């Protein structure tokens, strides 16, 4: 009895399973149901064969619909309409044409696949900067004079810009085009020093106490431009040595130390391991800079601090002559709203010293799943805070990137939220999500050869970060060409 051959059963079983799954695909989920933080999705086994669904949570081209005055943009939209119309007319010709078209595209795509490589070049989309692009005028006017002046950019972001990967690529491209040598602003201690690709940063452990937006600021110290402030707990030192990953940051001529409230005024410094020279800080509660100039271009700097609680130290900037400097300012685990916590007077002090012309904001991942209404309010407040402190500065918001095996509703929800923030605060916006390939593109970045993102399906790797940085610069330069 038990040895009876049931060889027909597998066919029926799998057939039945498919029927049940097809039946399940008719179930529509009206309300959002969450189970342990996982949002229940509709499951449609035939989805690959159906037309891409229209999502109502976020539209790819709804940004500033009422403000499209760019002629080229109109042309693009016109073309898109034309394609839609063509498809309509095709439909009327019937099935034969469709099969014919499909056959032709089959042959072409099979030929293309001969090299067998999975490359993101096929999925990335050239994406313009959208929205209030005329707000970028401060930056564009400034770079016209880049050959005689120093132009400064601040790049704020969360863990995705740690390690100076994305920022490093932006800086590299801009410095090669407009001049400038040096990695810009660096903190005195940092959480990402193990993997910073542009600077080898050293200091003895347990000699610095830090107040910051993203860890804690229990002494209520005034925070600096990077959202951090550093105070020595005993006599200590900090050293920076450039790394060769990008050519324009290998050497620098000037180091600027930013501080305030100095109590003990003497410090020592040396370049390239040479003799230690004394220098003097000055007193006062506003942010000051100590400018240290090397006799020739150098690759390393060491600063020695003589006493505990000597002063509030904010950071060091490594620079040379005129050109563009891009400051990498990562706030790990932050949504960006924390920028409000940097006191207005400190920001204004920094603006006098550094005169920022462009602030790039690249946040998002840490706001995923949060209350977006609150996030919009807080982030808009943070941007207004910065705008007040830097009135002659342009702002560019970079959208959240795609993440996960598939794009979830939290990502698209955040994306539309970020579009609203940019709209509300009147700043320019660049849609990284669409530029990297839109829905479900992260898994392709991970699978691409070579891989462009890490297996966590969230962070870009070295290659990918470089690509993202280059794409941002490309969009900026295109907007600059339009402006000129």
Partner 1 sequence: MDTTFFERLITLLTYNPFEPLLFNSGFFIFFFLFVLIFSRFFYHNPRAKVFFITFFSFYFYYKSSGIFVYLLLISSLVDFYAGKYIYDCDNPIRKKFLLILSVLTNLGILGYFKYTNFFLQTFNSLGAGNFELIDIFLPVGISFFTFQSMSYTIDIYRGKLNPEKRFIDFLFFVSFFPQLVAGPIVRAADFLPQIYQKSFITKEEMGRAVFLILAGLMKKAIIADYISINFVDRVFEWPTRFTGVENLLASYGYALQIYCDFSGYSDMAIGLALMLGFRLNINFNSPYKSASITEFWRRWHISLSSWLRDYLYISLGGNRIGNIRTYLNLLITMLLGGLWHGASWRFIIWGALHGFGLAFERFTNWPKIVNKNKFLRVLGVIFTFHFWAFTMIFFRAQSFEIAFDVINQIFTFFQSEVFIQWIEGYPIILFLMIVGFATHYFPEKWELKIQKFISWLPLIGKAILIAIVIWLVAQFKSADIQPFIYFQF
Restricted to residues 389-418, the positions that interact with partner 1 (CB under 8 A) are 403-406, 408-411
- The H-or-E segment that residue 253 falls in is strand 252-260
Give the SS3 label for residue 145: coil
Task: Check binding of 459 to partner 1 (CB under 8 A).
Answer: yes
CA dihedral 126, 411, 394, 153 (to 10 degrees): -80
Nearer CB in complex with partner 1: 201/365: 365
Restricted to residues 213-252, the positions that interact with partner 1 (CB under 8 A) are 214-216
Restricted to residues 128-187, the positions that interact with partner 1 (CB under 8 A) are 159
**Residue from 24, 265, 344, 373 binding partner 1 (CB under 8 A):** 24
# of chain residues touching partner 1 (CB under 8 A): 86
Q: What are phi and psi of 320, to 5 degrees?
A: -130, -130
Nearer CB in complex with partner 1: 423/457: 457
Give CA angle at 231 (229, 233), nearest 5°. 155
Task: Check binding of 438 to partner 1 (CB under 8 A).
Answer: no
Task: Check binding of 29 to partner 1 (CB under 8 A).
Answer: no
- In angstroms, the Cα distances linking 60 to 42, 63, 131, 371, 432 are 21, 8, 13, 22, 11
Nearest Cα neighbor of 193 from 328, 58, 291, 299 is: 328
**Residue from 30, 31, 51, 65 binding partner 1 (CB under 8 A):** 51
Task: Check binding of 36 to partner 1 (CB under 8 A).
Answer: yes
Restricted to residues 253-312, the positions that interact with partner 1 (CB under 8 A) are none
Structure tokens at 106: 């089959």
**Residue from 81, 117, 148, 233 binding partner 1 (CB under 8 A):** 117
Restricted to residues 83-112, the positions that interact with partner 1 (CB under 8 A) are 83-84, 87, 90, 98-99, 101-103, 105-106, 109-110
Q: Cβ of residue 13: shortest distance to partner 1, in angstroms? A: 6
Return d(Cα 242, Cα 32) in angstroms, integer: 50
- DSSP string over 399-436: PPPP-SSS--HHHHHHHHHHHHHHHHHT-EEE-HHHHT
Task: Check binding of 82 to partner 1 (CB under 8 A).
Answer: no
Q: Cβ of residue 470: shortest distance to partner 1, in angstroms? A: 20
Return d(Cα 59, Cα 133) in angstroms, integer: 20
**Residue from 333, 423, 478, 483 binding partner 1 (CB under 8 A):** 333
Task: Check binding of 69 to partner 1 (CB under 8 A).
Answer: no
Nearer CB in complex with partner 1: 11/78: 11
Give the SS3 label for residue 220: coil
Return d(Cα 482, Cα 397) in angstroms, integer: 19
Nearer CB in complex with partner 1: 255/368: 368
Q: Cβ of residue 274: shortest distance to partner 1, in angstroms? A: 30
Nearer CB in complex with partner 1: 107/291: 107
Restricted to residues 4-23, the positions that interact with partner 1 (CB under 8 A) are 4-21
Task: Check binding of 62 to partner 1 (CB under 8 A).
Answer: no
Q: Cβ of residue 155: shortest distance to partner 1, in angstroms? A: 19
Q: Cβ of residue 423: shortest distance to partner 1, in angstroms? A: 24
**Residue from 26, 28, 32, 43 binding partner 1 (CB under 8 A):** 43
In contact, 323 and 151? CB cutoff 8 Å: yes
Give the SS3 label for residue 163: helix
**Residue from 126, 206, 455, 481 binding partner 1 (CB under 8 A):** 455
CA dihedral 365, 366, 369, 371 (to 10 degrees): -120
Q: Cβ of residue 252: shortest distance to partner 1, in angstroms? A: 26
Return d(Cα 127, Cα 430) in angstroms, integer: 8
Q: Cβ of residue 74: shortest distance to partner 1, in angstroms? A: 20
Q: Checking phi first, is residue 164 left (phi over 0); if not, alpha (psi -120 to 50) or beta?
A: left
Restricted to residues 352-391, the positions that interact with partner 1 (CB under 8 A) are 365-366, 368-369
Terminal Cα-to-Cα distance of the chain (whole angstroms)? 86
**Residue from 30, 48, 62, 206 binding partner 1 (CB under 8 A):** 48
Helices 409-425, 372-389: inter-axial angle, 10-degree rounding: 40
**Residue from 31, 37, 65, 94 binding partner 1 (CB under 8 A):** 37
Q: Checking phi first, is residue 437 left (phi over 0); if not, alpha (psi -120 to 50) or beta?
A: left
Q: What are phi and psi of 211, to 5 degrees?
A: -110, 135
Nearer CB in complex with partner 1: 119/392: 119
Region near partner 1 per CB under 8 A, out of 70-78, 316-324, 338-346, 445-453: 445-453
Task: Check binding of 466 to partner 1 (CB under 8 A).
Answer: no
Q: Cβ of residue 99: shortest distance to partner 1, in angstroms? A: 5
Restricted to residues 198-217, the positions that interact with partner 1 (CB under 8 A) are 214-216
Return d(Cα 37, Cα 473) in angstroms, integer: 37
> Tokens 């207005």, residue?
344
Nearest Cα neighbor of 405 from 370, 365, 455 is: 455
């Amino acid at each position: 009895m038990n040895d009876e051959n049931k060889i027909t059963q597998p066919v029926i079983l799998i057939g039945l399973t498919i029927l049940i799954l097809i039946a399940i695909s008719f179930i529509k989920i009206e309300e959002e149901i969450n189970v342990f933080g996982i949002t229940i999705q509709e499951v449609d086994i035939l989805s690959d064969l159906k037309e891409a669904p229209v999502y109502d949570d976020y539209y790819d081209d709804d940004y500033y619909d009422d403000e499209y005055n760019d002629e080229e943009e109109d042309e693009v939209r016109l073309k898109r309409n034309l394609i839609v119309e063509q498809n309509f007319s095709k439909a009327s010709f019937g099935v034969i044409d469709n099969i014919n078209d499909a056959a032709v595209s089959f042959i072409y795509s099979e030929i293309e696949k001969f090299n067998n490589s999975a490359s993101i070049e096929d999925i990335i989309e050239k994406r313009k900067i959208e929205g209030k692009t005329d707000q970028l005028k401060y930056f564009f006017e400034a770079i016209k004079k880049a050959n005689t002046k120093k132009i400064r950019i601040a790049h704020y972001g969360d863990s995705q810009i740690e390690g100076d990967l994305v920022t490093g690529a932006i800086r590299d491209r801009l410095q090669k085009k407009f001049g400038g040598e040096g990695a810009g602003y660096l903190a005195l201690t940092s959480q990402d020093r193990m993997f910073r690709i542009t600077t080898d940063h050293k200091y003895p452990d347990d000699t610095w106490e830090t107040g910051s937006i993203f860890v804690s600021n229990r002494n209520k110290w005034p925070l600096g431009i990077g959202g951090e402030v550093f105070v020595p707990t005993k006599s200590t030192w900090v050293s920076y040595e450039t790394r060769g990953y990008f050519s324009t940051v290998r050497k620098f001529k000037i180091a600027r130390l930013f501080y305030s409230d100095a109590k003990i005024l003497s410090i020592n410094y040396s370049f390239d391991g040479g003799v230690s020279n004394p220098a003097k800080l000055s007193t006062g509660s506003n942010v000051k800079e100590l400018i240290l100039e090397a006799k020739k271009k150098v690759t390393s700097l060491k600063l020695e601090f003589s006493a505990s609680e000597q002063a509030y130290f904010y950071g060091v900037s490594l620079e040379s002559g005129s050109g563009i400097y891009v400051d990498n300012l990562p706030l790990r685990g932050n949504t960006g709203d924390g920028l409000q916590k940097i006191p207005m007077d400190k920001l204004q002090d920094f603006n006098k010293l550094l005169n920022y012309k462009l602030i790039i904001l690249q946040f998002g991942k840490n706001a995923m799943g949060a209350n977006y209404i609150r996030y919009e309010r807080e982030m808009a407040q943070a941007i207004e805070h910065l705008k007040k402190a830097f009135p002659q500065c342009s702002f560019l918001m970079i959208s959240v990137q795609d993440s996960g095996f598939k794009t979830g509703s939290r990502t698209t929800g955040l994306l539309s939220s970020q579009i609203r923030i940019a709209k509300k605060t009147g700043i320019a916006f660049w849609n990284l999500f669409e530029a990297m390939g839109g829905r479900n593109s992260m898994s392709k970045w991970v699978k691409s050869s070579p891989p462009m993102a890490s297996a966590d399906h969230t962070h870009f790797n070295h290659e990918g970060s470089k690509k993202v940085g280059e794409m941002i610069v490309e969009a900026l330069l295109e907007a600059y060409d339009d402006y000129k």
